[in-house]
Amino acid sequence: MPSTQNLPLIKDPDRLENRLKEIPPVPGVYLMRDESDRILYIGKSKKLRTRVRSYFRDNKNISSRIAIMIQQVCEIEFIVTDTEAESLALEANLVKQHQPYFNVLLKDDKKYPYLCITWSQEYPRIFITRKRIAGNPKDRYYGPYVDTGSLRSTLDLIKRIFPLRQRPQPLFKDRPCINYDIGRCVGVCQGLITVEEYHKMMQKVAMIFQGRTQELIDNLVAQMSQAAADFNFETAAKIRDQIKGLQFLTIGQKVSLPDDTVSRDAIALAMGSEYACIQLFQIRAGQLVGRLGFVAEIKSVSTGEIEAGVILQRVLEEHYHNVESVEIPAEILVQYDLPEGEILADWLSSYKGRKVNILAPQRQSKAELIEMVEKNANYELMRMQKLSDRNTQAMQDLAEILDLPDLPHRIEGYDISHIQGSDAVASRVVFIDGLPAKQHYRHYKIKNPEIKSGHSDDFASLAEVIGRRFKSKNESGLRELKDRPDLIMIDGGKGQLSAVVEVLQEMNLLSELRVVSLAKQREEIFLPGESLPLSTDAEQPGVQLLRRLRDEAHRFAVSFHRDQRSNRMKRSRLDEIPGLGHYRQKQLLAHFRSVDYIRLATVEQLAEVPGIGPRLAQEIYDYFHP
**DSSP letter at 254?**
B
Confidence check: pLDDT of 599 > 70: yes
Confidence check: pLDDT of 565 > 70: yes
Determine how β-strand 75-80 pairs with β-strand 28-33. Answer: antiparallel
Residues 77/16, Cβ–Cβ less than 8 Å: no
Residues 412/516, Cβ–Cβ less than 8 Å: no
Q: How many CB atoms lie within 10 A of CB 147?
A: 14
Give burial (CB, 10 Å; 0-12/13-18/19+) of 483: exposed
Residues 115/143, Cβ–Cβ less than 8 Å: yes
Confidence check: pLDDT of 175 > 90: no
Q: How many CB atoms lie within 10 A of CB 505?
A: 12
Confidence check: pLDDT of 106 > 60: no
DSSP output for 436-479: E-GGG-EEEE---TT-BTTB--HHHHHHHHHHHHTTT--HHHHH
Q: What is the pLDDT confidence band of residue 146, given thresholds at 50, 70 and 90?
A: low
pTM of the model: 0.56
Please state the rounded mean pLDDT for residues 24-29.
Answer: 92
Confidence check: pLDDT of 397 > 90: yes
Q: How far apart are CA 4 and CA 15, in angstroms?
A: 9
Report which of 154, 147, 322 is spatially closest to residue 250, judged by C-alpha positions.
Answer: 154
Per-residue confidence (pLDDT) for residue 302, from 0 to 100: 38
Give burial (CB, 10 Å; 0-12/13-18/19+) of 403: exposed
Per-residue confidence (pLDDT) for residue 7, from 0 to 100: 82
DSSP bridge partners of 291: 281
Per-residue confidence (pLDDT) for residue 562, from 0 to 100: 84
Residues 479/509, Cβ–Cβ less than 8 Å: no
Q: What is the pLDDT confidence band of residue 300, given thresholds at 50, 70 and 90?
A: very low
DSSP bridge partners of 28: 45, 80
Confidence check: pLDDT of 561 > 60: yes
- Better-predicted residue by pLDDT, 593 or 94: 94
Confidence check: pLDDT of 112 > 90: no
Q: Among residues of the chain, what percentage have pLDDT more than 70?
A: 87
Q: How far apart are CA 340 and CA 299, in angstroms?
A: 22
* Torsion on CA atoms 379, 383, 389, 393, rounded to nearest 10: 150
Per-residue confidence (pLDDT) for residue 29, from 0 to 100: 93
Q: What type of residue is 492?
A: G
**DSSP letter at 104?**
-
pLDDT digits (tens, 9 = 90+) for 509-540: 888 899 999 988 778 899 998 888 888 888 89
Please state the rounded mean pLDDT for residues 271-296.
Answer: 82
- Better-predicted residue by pLDDT, 67 or 337: 337
Report which of 465, 417, 472 is spatially closest to residue 444, judged by C-alpha positions.
Answer: 465
Residues 561/418, Cβ–Cβ less than 8 Å: yes
Half-sphere exposure of 267 (CA within 13 A, CB side): 30
Weakest-pLDDT range from 85-94, 265-274, 370-379, 404-413: 85-94
Domains annotated for the chain, with CATH where assigned, are 4-103 (3.40.1440.10), 264-383 (3.30.420), 403-565 (3.30.420.340), 576-624 (1.10.150.20)
Is the torsion defined by CA of 532, 535, 540, 542 positive or negative? negative
Please state the rounded mean pLDDT for residues 9-19.
Answer: 90
pLDDT digits (tens, 9 = 90+) for 246-273: 666 555 554 555 556 678 899 999 988 7
Q: How far is CA 206 from the centre of its chain?
A: 20
Q: What type of residue is 585?
A: Q
DSSP bridge partners of 419: 422
Residues 262/276, Cβ–Cβ less than 8 Å: no
Q: How far apart are CA 578 and CA 620, in angstroms?
A: 8
Per-residue confidence (pLDDT) for residue 440, from 0 to 100: 86
Per-residue confidence (pLDDT) for residue 572, from 0 to 100: 62
Weakest-pLDDT range from 183-187, 220-224, 494-498: 183-187
Residues 412/487, Cβ–Cβ less than 8 Å: yes
Q: Which residues contact 280 (CB under 8 A, 6 or more apart)?
A: 265, 266, 267, 291, 292, 293, 294, 315, 319, 373
Please state the rounded mean pLDDT for residues 310-316.
Answer: 88
Per-residue confidence (pLDDT) for residue 305, from 0 to 100: 41
Confidence check: pLDDT of 63 > 70: no
DSSP-derived 3-state class of residue 513: coil
Weakest-pLDDT range from 288-302, 430-444, 452-466, 594-608: 288-302
- Better-predicted residue by pLDDT, 518 or 133: 518
Please state the rounded mean pLDDT for residues 154-159.
Answer: 81
